[in-house]
Structure 1
Amino acid sequence: MLRDDKNVLPMKSGNPERLPVVMQGEMVVGCPIEDTLVLVLGIGSLTAEQATVFLNGDPAMSVKVSLVSWPLKDASPAGTHGFVAIVPTNILRRGSLKTIMFQHKANVTRYAFASRAASTGELIAMVTDLAGPNLPSIIDGLVEGLISGPIGRKKLSAITVLLQAGARSDGCIELIGGSDEGEIFVQGWAQDLTPSVTRLLISGRSPSLAECAISVFARPDLNDQSSGFAGLLLASEHVEPNDIERLLFRGRRGWRFTEVYDRRLISGARETPGHVRAILPRVRSSTEILLRMRSAANRFDGTETVSGLPFPVRMGIDHVFRVEGSGLLVSGWLLDPDNHVAKVKLRRHRSEMHLDANWTRIDRPDVTREFDNKPPFNAGLDPNRHAHGFVAFAPELEGDSTAPFYMELGLSDGRRAFLPLTPTRITSRDAVVRQIRAIDPNAWALRQIVDQQLVPLLRGVNRPAPEIFGVVDLGSFEDVPGPALIIGVDERVEEIAPLIGLLALDPETRRAPIVVAAATEIVDRIGVQVRRLADFYGLHLRLVSASGSEDLYDALEVGARAVTSETVVFLAASLLPRNAGWFSKLLAAYEARKDCVLSPTLAYEDDSIRWAGTWVAGAQSDRALISRYAGYPLDAVTGMATTEVATATFECCVLPRNALFSVDGFTRGYLGTHEKGLDLGLKLKQTGLKSYWLPSAQMLGSDDISVADKASTIALIERIDRQVFDTRWANIHRNRPASVEKPV
């Protein structure tokens, strides 16, 4: 828009050569403020507050502008007054700004622009030379003109530079306090600050506009013209208390600045309410501002205040589970028989969530019994109302990672009460299972808790993939060629010796590179036994411990990370080969097709089928994918050929290693492994990788259930996983064709 040749106009302070360009009266200097706004400095006879300008002499590019003018300090034949025009350039159609023509009434003056644009500081230096004692009023007029319209970051920076040059010192700031609600508490003394809501600018690391609610108080240690002030500063964007250097405000006698004292006290969000409470009895201001000050004094300072309320409101927390990559699961109770509580918030630093907008209430007769006819519930509680409990999922709140979590009760009289929270870091599976176990399976609110709290928690899980924690090689593992056999161990496996013994006695698997992978705590339990067996049988075995592993499939994924072979064979440690030759059958069938996922039949010990392929269900089914032969005797599939299926089972399969990581491995956020396996199968299918079932190879094993859980808990876990899966793969329901078997 304006040329910026730094060799044209020297701006060294005191240099008499810097002003001739404007003293000639035929040229002006432009100072870009924003992409569409320029300050134009010149001299002439213009004294009006407004004029019409034509950019580049084009009548189609005319606009009314504001002018700030003043009598020149030194006389000039080119004019009697200096001026700065605030010129919007959004009407400039193309090219650079070369000339400008001013028209006021019948007077028209044309100027050419100097070849170099000036910075805001350079413009101020030139105005200072032209204005003399008029500088403060000129700065005041320019700031008023700039501050009236929309203010972007560049304009704000320019306004700040202008004010730094023209504003006068007025007092200092002695204390700055942060808060969780964005407001900053400032306390100090000044002469020209009045008790009111004042618009001001924050000068510091990042200039910002702000509103400050000012109250004043007597300071006997100062002169009669000065007083103490306490204010609540709310900036238009986030400002750190420690970044504030000055507050620039318009006082009764023009623009002033209050400097931050070098030895000021910086207080954190927990300490600030105490400072506000200490000064509150001494300040005077409007009723509105005093109410804001009282609200600031009643902020969370780290202490619990609910139990001290004088009316019948009490609150308790049973647990707060913090799930990495998802959020918080909060369970507790709120006893409020007279409806004193208007809102309940979960807060942390500057983030908050209205917990009562989405929580699920649940009966808690134990709370009724505990508080009935006890102070302050002396009037007695309704024996038929017990819905005091609640369960709520809250997505992770942003903010300072060191800031505490707390509950805020907003009371109907405007006051607030607080309850600190101590979250427990926990896996998503443990959080959901522990919540389920804590609720009566017959509770009327259970289904709603599952649908509104637990399923959203699992859907939001975005935790990192499990990682290798440690690797120990037993035997010459690296020297053995061939696909790696990766055995995943989870908490269901108490004894791994039978499987390793069978693998060692089978000539096909005894020569294979074997990986045993499990969570670190499981490796600690089975490690000695695995080492002893590997040494006894002379196996080529790698023992891998995993951090962040929650189940069998996490262990298998970490095992795959610990090898470099192109092909891997997954095997759950809970499975046993039904017949010899299963390993060579899998590999031969895989080699015949290449780049696929291929699984054997899984059977129970009574020779009934547990898994024999996963198929796309027909439209009449309530599930998208089904296991068609589950429960049939093994004889039902005897003689069947290798068949393409919708997904394989990853409890036992052979697949290309890179395919697993091309889709970021198994999806997190499932409680069990059934839907977790279906999820990976569909992700691989989307990449074009086909899945096959090999009926002639058969493994024995039990279902993926926890022996520690009740049947009702297991059923609920399965239903939750089904909901999570169906939500993620809703398009399978909408576009599923009829199931077709494809023998290959």
Structure 2
Amino acid sequence: MNEVIIPERTRVSPAPTVAWTPLGENAILIMSACDAIPGKVPVAVDGNPRNKVETMALTWRRPQAEPAQAVGFLCLAPAPSPDRGSGAILLGRPGRPLRLILAPKPMPLQAFLAALADEAGQAFPTVVDGLLEVLLAGKSNPRRLRAVGMLLQSVAKPGGFVEVMGPLDDGIFVQGWTANFAAGRTKLLVAHGGLSPAVLEAGTFERDDLGEGARGFFGLLEECAVRHPSEIERLFFRATDGWRALEVYERHVVLEQITVPGHLRDGLQRGTAPAATTEKLKQASQRFDGRDTISFLDQPVRAGIDDATIVEGTGVLIIGWLFDPDRLTGDVVLRSGTQSCTIDKTWTRAVRPDVTAAFAEDPRFGPAMASRRNSHGFIVFAPKLLPEPGQPLYLEFEVEGHGPAFLPLAPGRNPARRALERVFGLLDPRSSTATAVVEKQIAPALQAAEIAPPKVIETHDIGRFNADAAMGLVIGLDHRQRELSSLFALLAIDPEIRPLPIVVAAPGESFDRLGAEARRLARFYGLHVRLVLVEGVEDTCDALEAGVRACRFQTVALLSGAAQIRMPGWLGRLERAYRGRGGHCVASPTLLFEDNSIRWAGAWLEGEGAGRRVYNRFVGYPLDAIGSLGPMEVAAGATECCVMSRNAFLEVDGFSRSYFTTGEKGLDLCLKLRMNGVPSLWVPEVEIYVVEDGEIRPHVGALISLADRTSFDRRWALAISNMRG
């Protein structure tokens, strides 16, 4: 009968006290001696025979010891319970169990291993080798891996050097020499402050500068926690004669990632490896190395880039062309470092007769173009792909019969709005392509953009400006030339405005001109003005937002720089309508074009369900069309001129920056306020002119309006379909 049984109750002689060290929370390592012990033994913890596991005992002979202590052994055991444990370990053996008492305090790991080396003597390397197998077979934890690292430092023999390293996406290229492993797949342990497992796929090659039996090696470290070669201290591997260490050569070379594929190609040309490893290394060698390779293919496939722009904080916008009449190209992927985006699934194709003409006379490509369409162009926005400093940006084309081909990009950098507005000038608004580009590329890009809010640079006060007044006027100016003299004169002759504090917010770039004029006029008319210099202004909404944040008025009257006052008393009437609703609304006047036709006279909800929309009902009508109506609630107000609570403005985080035009920004703000319980009120009797922006070309304006409407519908269509009113 071979089964070893630990009896339920056993009388034993006094137990010896043994050294131990913890390995993580659930295991300990113990060292002791006895007369004999098998290779595998059951171990009971805290003297409880019902709580037992099987462990492996690593042994060595002790020639000078008494027979009862002739065999030294080392084994893993479960950690005793910290609160009620007895500190007793019971090892089952044929004949009788072995009872051990743990020392009151554990030994530090390093001291424990030093004591083991003294005790085991010449058998230490063999014992450690077995212990490493046991430790690596179990579930890893930091303390266990630390023990493995210390053991390897003690027993691993020199195995060669790593002389060259370089990062490559999710792996690390290594090159050096060794005499202790063959080409193919080798399991390693990587020392990098800690210790972690990895796999080396390597080939070998002959070197004249090495001794007999040593060869050069090259390959890729994979499945590795290390992300950069500079972290690697040494590599441990199991050779036929035990553990070996590849040291990192003191004068090692760290390659730029872009040069690693070339080193792999060189290694494959002069070295050998098993077929599976060769194929894996060959695939890695075909990665981008900085060269344009698509322009030199034998296949009729070519590509070019007209413009590539990194849209700050947002992604990459690319305008280019792909000539592929035989449709040999599969996936087209934009890459930078470990980031990637497959762009051919989302790009918008465009007709490019210039590309067709360029290749029509080339005998290599002309025959392939017969009866083919010429929509070779593409425009695409790759969201959230932002190259890290030093990382190249490139396109990878999977070409049938060739594998990957590459086209490096030299992108510029631009703020989101400026980068996207450039595209409008390249499009024909009458084409379906323009509509598709706006809806699928431009609008999503602007919605995804993380545009920094306008920032107040500095302020200058003229007169007795009271930032904490119950009510104040905020005027927002953009980069366009504005005539301040008539505006200040109209403010000064209005008795309801003259005593109010006035904030004038303008772009910092325009402030030298505007600031001096505003100071002179404010002093001349005796107005109380705060001049606010603002960074990041793209339109009057940005300036208005910065102005609101640069004061502490309870109630703010907003006046866009595009607005022109038509009559005195306008602000008083707006304020009275606002107070008539308990100061809980956005009160807006009628807005007029310069010919006295209606620009805005309330925004209304029309339609039902998914077809429901916000509609500017009276636009283009003569002013007489609205008659003598009184104030009435509407779906949304007009932020070119309005009165509202400053706190309400701030609670909805002001204007959204995900639109090109101020009209859509204002509509978005009023709907946010409506959703937050603040309705909009139209006050028909108050009339304000709003000057058209003549700087935007008509066809560009149509595309910008389409982009804003698309963005608005993406954000608000569902909410509007469920609104009442």
TM over 0.5: yes
Give the TM bin, normalised by the shorter chain: 0.7 to 0.9
Give the 3-state SS of the residue equivalent to 1:729 in structure 2: helix
Deviation for aligned residue 1:327: 1.0
Give the 3-state SS of the residue equivalent to 2:148 in structure 1: helix
Give the 3-state SS of the residue equivalent to 1:509 in structure 2: coil
Residue 283 in structure 1 maps to residue 271 in structure 2 = yes
Residue of structure 2 equivalent to 1:742: none
Farther-moved stretch of structure 1 (537-546 vs 40-49): 40-49
Task: Give the direction of change, closer, same or farther, for the CA distance of 1:220–1:114 in structure 2 (3 Å limit).
Answer: same
Aligned letter for 1:227? R
Residue correspondence of structure 1 range 462-611 to structure 2 within 5 A: 462-475=450-463, 477=465, 483-491=471-479, 494-523=482-511, 526-527=514-515, 529-591=517-579, 593-594=582-583, 596-611=585-600
Q: Distance in 1 between matches of 2:15 and 2:62?
A: 13
The partner residue of 1:362 within 350, 359, 367 is 350
The partner residue of 1:722 within 684, 695, 709 is 709
Deviation for aligned residue 1:202: 1.4
Deviation for aligned residue 1:474: 4.7
Deviation for aligned residue 1:187: 1.8
The partner residue of 2:235 within 218, 222, 247 is 247
Deviation for aligned residue 1:97: 8.2
Q: Distance in 2 between matches of 1:139 and 1:257?
A: 15
Aligned letter for 1:417? A
The partner residue of 1:693 within 679, 682, 685 is 682
The partner residue of 1:103 within 81, 92, 100 is 92
The partner residue of 2:658 within 669, 672, 679 is 669
The answer to whether the 8 A contact 2:192-2:226 is kept is: no
**C-alpha offsets along residues 358-387 of structure 1, whole Å, 9 cap, x if unaligned?**
223232222111112426425442343223
The answer to whether the 8 A contact 2:476-2:541 is kept is: yes
Task: Give the direction of change, closer, same or farther, for the CA distance of 1:371–1:479 in structure 2 (3 Å limit).
Answer: closer
Task: Give the direction of change, closer, same or farther, for the CA distance of 1:434–1:482 in structure 2 (3 Å limit).
Answer: same
Residue of structure 2 equivalent to 1:735: 722
- For structure 1, which runs of at least 5 residues remain unmatched after alignment? 1-23, 740-744
Deviation for aligned residue 1:732: 1.1
Residue 183 in structure 1 maps to residue 183 in structure 2 = no
Deviation for aligned residue 1:332: 0.9
The partner residue of 1:56 within 46, 57, 66 is 46
Residue of structure 2 equivalent to 1:116: 105
Give the 3-state SS of the residue equivalent to 2:246 in structure 1: strand
The partner residue of 2:396 within 387, 391, 408 is 408
Q: Distance in 2 between matches of 1:159 and 1:706?
A: 74
**C-alpha offsets along residues 326-362 of structure 1, whole Å, 9 cap, x if unaligned?**
2111121111233443322211122122222322323
Aligned letter for 1:665? G
Task: Give the direction of change, closer, same or farther, for the CA distance of 1:127–1:534 in structure 2 (3 Å limit).
Answer: same
Farther-moved stretch of structure 1 (381-390 vs 38-47): 38-47
Deviation for aligned residue 1:574: 1.0
Task: Give the direction of change, closer, same or farther, for the CA distance of 1:205–1:446 in structure 2 (3 Å limit).
Answer: farther
Task: Give the direction of change, closer, same or farther, for the CA distance of 1:393–1:101 in structure 2 (3 Å limit).
Answer: farther
Give the 3-state SS of the residue equivalent to 1:311 in structure 2: coil
Aligned letter for 1:563? C
The answer to whether the 8 A contact 2:601-2:684 is kept is: yes
Farther-moved stretch of structure 1 (201-210 vs 622-631): 622-631
Residue of structure 2 equivalent to 1:9: none
**C-alpha offsets along residues 487-512 of structure 1, whole Å, 9 cap, x if unaligned?**
11235655444333322333333443
Farther-moved stretch of structure 1 (202-211 vs 78-87): 78-87
The answer to whether the 8 A contact 1:480-1:513 is kept is: no
Aligned letter for 1:144? E
Residue 161 in structure 1 maps to residue 154 in structure 2 = no
Could you state the TM-score of these two structures normalised by the residue count of structure 2?
Answer: 0.88
Q: Distance in 1 between matches of 2:583 and 2:198?
A: 66
Q: Distance in 2 between matches of 1:654 and 1:46?
A: 95
Residue of structure 2 equivalent to 1:20: none
Task: Give the direction of change, closer, same or farther, for the CA distance of 1:430–1:27 in structure 2 (3 Å limit).
Answer: same
Residue 454 in structure 1 maps to residue 460 in structure 2 = no
The partner residue of 1:271 within 250, 255, 259 is 259
The partner residue of 1:203 within 166, 177, 191 is 191
Aligned letter for 1:368? T
Farther-moved stretch of structure 1 (149-158 vs 131-140): 149-158
Aligned letter for 2:562? S
Task: Give the direction of change, closer, same or farther, for the CA distance of 1:479–1:282 in structure 2 (3 Å limit).
Answer: closer
Task: Give the direction of change, closer, same or farther, for the CA distance of 1:142–1:688 in structure 2 (3 Å limit).
Answer: farther
Give the 3-state SS of the residue equivalent to 2:61 in structure 1: strand
Task: Give the direction of change, closer, same or farther, for the CA distance of 1:649–1:186 in structure 2 (3 Å limit).
Answer: same
Task: Give the direction of change, closer, same or farther, for the CA distance of 1:346–1:150 in structure 2 (3 Å limit).
Answer: farther
Aligned letter for 1:736? M
- For structure 2, which runs of at least 5 residues remain unmatched after alignment? 1-13
The partner residue of 1:622 within 600, 611, 621 is 611
**C-alpha offsets along residues 97-122 of structure 1, whole Å, 9 cap, x if unaligned?**
84443335665334343333444434
Task: Give the direction of change, closer, same or farther, for the CA distance of 1:693–1:105 in structure 2 (3 Å limit).
Answer: farther
Q: Distance in 1 between matches of 2:287 and 2:270?
A: 19
Residue of structure 1 equivalent to 2:11: none
The answer to whether the 8 A contact 1:477-1:542 is kept is: yes
Deviation for aligned residue 1:573: 0.9
Give the 3-state SS of the residue equivalent to 2:208 in structure 1: coil
Aligned residues: 711
Deviation for aligned residue 1:128: 1.7
Task: Give the direction of change, closer, same or farther, for the CA distance of 1:71–1:232 in structure 2 (3 Å limit).
Answer: same
Residue of structure 2 equivalent to 1:3: none
Task: Give the direction of change, closer, same or farther, for the CA distance of 1:664–1:736 in structure 2 (3 Å limit).
Answer: closer
Task: Give the direction of change, closer, same or farther, for the CA distance of 1:718–1:479 in structure 2 (3 Å limit).
Answer: closer
Task: Give the direction of change, closer, same or farther, for the CA distance of 1:343–1:621 in structure 2 (3 Å limit).
Answer: closer
Residue 394 in structure 1 maps to residue 382 in structure 2 = yes
Q: Distance in 2 between matches of 1:393 and 1:505?
A: 52
Aligned letter for 1:113? L
Residue 69 in structure 1 maps to residue 56 in structure 2 = no
Q: Distance in 2 between matches of 1:331 and 1:105?
A: 80
The partner residue of 1:222 within 210, 216, 240 is 210
**C-alpha offsets along residues 225-275 of structure 1, whole Å, 9 cap, x if unaligned?**
322222211243342211111111112211111111222122221333444
The answer to whether the 8 A contact 2:164-2:176 is kept is: yes
Q: Distance in 2 between matches of 1:673 and 1:582?
A: 22
Deviation for aligned residue 1:302: 2.9
The answer to whether the 8 A contact 1:172-1:258 is kept is: yes
- Identical pairs, percent: 38
Aligned letter for 1:205? G
The answer to whether the 8 A contact 2:171-2:227 is kept is: no
Task: Give the direction of change, closer, same or farther, for the CA distance of 1:74–1:602 in structure 2 (3 Å limit).
Answer: farther
Could you state the TM-score of these two structures normalised by the residue count of structure 1?
Answer: 0.86
Deviation for aligned residue 1:96: 5.8
Aligned letter for 1:455? A
Task: Give the direction of change, closer, same or farther, for the CA distance of 1:633–1:191 in structure 2 (3 Å limit).
Answer: same
The answer to whether the 8 A contact 1:40-1:87 is kept is: yes
Q: Distance in 2 between matches of 1:79 and 1:650?
A: 93
Residue of structure 2 equivalent to 1:303: 291
Q: Distance in 2 between matches of 1:324 and 1:480?
A: 37
Task: Give the direction of change, closer, same or farther, for the CA distance of 1:421–1:106 in structure 2 (3 Å limit).
Answer: farther
Q: Distance in 1 between matches of 2:507 and 2:463?
A: 22
Q: Distance in 1 between matches of 2:345 and 2:268?
A: 34
Computed over aligned residues only, the root mean square deviation of the Cα atoms, in angstroms, reads: 3.3
Residue 138 in structure 1 maps to residue 127 in structure 2 = yes
The answer to whether the 8 A contact 2:609-2:722 is kept is: no
Residue of structure 2 equivalent to 1:128: 117
The partner residue of 1:654 within 638, 643, 655 is 643
